[in-house]
Amino acid sequence: MNDSRATIFVFLPFRLDPARRLLTRDGLPITLKPKEFDTLLVLVEEDGRVVDKDDLVARVWPDSFVGDGSLAKNISVLRKALGEDVIETHRGRGYRVTLPILTNSSATHEESGPPPDEVSRPAPQSSGTGDNSSAGSAKAPRLSRKAAAASAVAAALLLAFSAYRLVVLKIAAAHRPSESTVRSILIQKEGGLDPLTEGFQLQWPDGDYRHVIANSENNGFDRWRMVSNDENMYYRKLSDAEKTFALQHDWTLTCVCALEKGGGFSDIDLGPGIGPRFDIGFDQDAKKYFVDLTKQISPQYEFDRIEFPGVADVDHPHTYELRFDHVSQTASLWIDGQQKLSGYRGHHQYQQNHGLMFGAATYLDAKEASMVFREVRFEVR
């Protein structure tokens, strides 16, 4: 780790004090474990530059050998603490902090005390001649100049501090999340990359879910397998402003995927309290494969369904899309560019505020579910 103890990093609304090992948001402390704090410190030290993953691991764990999983876990924790958009992933390279970073010395004037020549001195002694007016008038101009100089220094410091604070407040205003700042939305999981490194979270983190797989035709690791003996998913949340924006514009939910066994899904949840949840379900019933648009989960499962054998084509995953029309507030299902269903309004059950979700779930008699994802994308324009 670099010696940054004499520097405080400000990236509003956050403040990172390495000397005190303290991260605050609007003055309130945020608890981080030591290595999580070190990971963030390295990123802010680089002032918005992309930090290579190998370099980041070497600086956070200088005397240890750790895998990518430890770094991915730290990044996931930091995104929960700071917000999903504060740390940006650059595929195949590393990470960077997206907020402007200001630095300030932690050694303040209050800590350093008054300058040596301003320390109080005893009053001058009388010369004994009985005439002190001359001595008093001779020293008065010197003292006035010192006082004037001190006042000038104080005024300059106050002006500098005021200017610094104004710049900070302007940067904060420019980066404060608001509905008006949402111009478009693009969230995606692509190829065989670990979803955790792309900003997603895992619903049930216990167990080994690092299931990257290769394409048998090109030997490229271009897909991610999700396996569960119950239900599990990756998800990435949307802000309320993003949800509102999505309901007021056309959007597309895309899943390039295939079902190996059991069931799988790709969903977008625009609520609760704001909009519906839209589900694309994939399942196997006997020897048939289906694509479902869920309309109700409880007390009984209701859906619009089409039979599509291509659901099980793992070597050549098909492209499934939900295309939402904001005027009618309905979505249509497209498979490989051809419309199959329309008029889907989603549902409001079991909304977990998870935003974009994809995963696997057991279905009927299947004791295990396995779903392969090559791409999952939610795009609003």
In a shared domain, residues 203 and 69 = no
The pairs formed by 279-285 with CB atoms below 8 angstroms and a separation of 24 or more are 279/346, 279/347, 280/253, 280/255, 280/320, 280/322, 280/333, 282/257, 282/311, 282/371, 283/259, 283/363, 283/364, 284/259, 284/311, 284/312, 284/363, 284/364, 284/366, 285/363, 285/364
In a shared domain, residues 260 and 351 = yes
Q: What CATH number should be reported for the domain holding residue 242?
A: 2.60.120.200
Alpha carbon distance 372, 281 (integer Å): 13
In a shared domain, residues 363 and 233 = yes
Q: How far is CA 212 from the centre of its chain?
A: 23
* Rg of the chain (C-alpha set): 30
Count of domains observed in the chain: 2
Alpha helices in the chain (DSSP H): 34-45, 53-60, 68-82, 109-112, 133-175, 240-247
Q: Does residue 239 sit within a domain?
A: yes
Assign 48 a pLDDT band (cuts: 50, 70, 90).
confident
pLDDT (0 to 100) of residue 305: 94
pLDDT in tens, 183-241: 889 998 888 888 888 889 988 887 666 677 766 666 677 889 898 888 889 999 998 88
In a shared domain, residues 92 and 201 = no
Domain end, chosen from 103, 122, 138, is at: 103
Q: Does residue 128 sit within a domain?
A: no
**111 pLDDT more than 60:** no
**CA geometry: angle at 338 spanning 334 and 343, to 5°?**
45
Q: Does residue 120 sit within a domain?
A: no
H or E segment and range at residue 344: strand 338-344
Give every strand in the sheet of 201-202, ordered side by side.
201-202, 231-236, 356-361, 263-269, 277-285, 288-296, 302-307
Assign 339 a pLDDT band (cuts: 50, 70, 90).
very high
Domain end, chosen from 83, 103, 123, is at: 103
Mean pLDDT of 330-355: 94
In a shared domain, residues 197 and 340 = yes
Q: Does residue 20 sit within a domain?
A: yes
In a shared domain, residues 218 and 363 = yes
Helix, strand or coil, per DSSP, at residue 89: strand
The residues near 315 (Cβ < 8 Å, ≥ 6 apart) are: 215, 216, 217
**282 pLDDT more than 70:** yes
Mean pLDDT of the chain: 79
In a shared domain, residues 262 and 360 = yes
The residue that leads in pLDDT, 5 or 125, is 5
Assign 307 a pLDDT band (cuts: 50, 70, 90).
very high
In a shared domain, residues 99 and 186 = no
Domain end, chosen from 48, 76, 103, is at: 103
DSSP codes joined into one string, 272-300: SSS--EEEEEEEEETTEEEEEEEEE-SSS
Q: Does residue 158 sit within a domain?
A: no
**CA geometry: angle at 14 spanning 270 and 68, to 5°?**
70
In a shared domain, residues 353 and 262 = yes
In a shared domain, residues 65 and 211 = no
pLDDT in tens, 227-274: 888 888 999 999 888 999 999 999 999 999 999 999 999 999 998 889
In a shared domain, residues 203 and 298 = yes
Among 17-31, 83-97, 103-117, 360-374, which is the least confidently predicted range? 103-117
Contact 331, 323 (CB under 8 A): yes
Q: Does residue 29 sit within a domain?
A: yes
Helix, strand or coil, per DSSP, at residue 32: coil
pLDDT in tens, 134-165: 333 333 333 344 444 555 555 555 555 445 44
Q: Does residue 267 sit within a domain?
A: yes
Alpha carbon distance 352, 273 (integer Å): 11
Q: Does residue 257 sit within a domain?
A: yes
In a shared domain, residues 253 and 370 = yes
Domain residue limits at 335: 182-380
Contact 42, 51 (CB under 8 A): yes
Contact 289, 283 (CB under 8 A): yes
pLDDT in tens, 8-22: 999 888 999 999 899
The answer to pTM > 0.85 is no
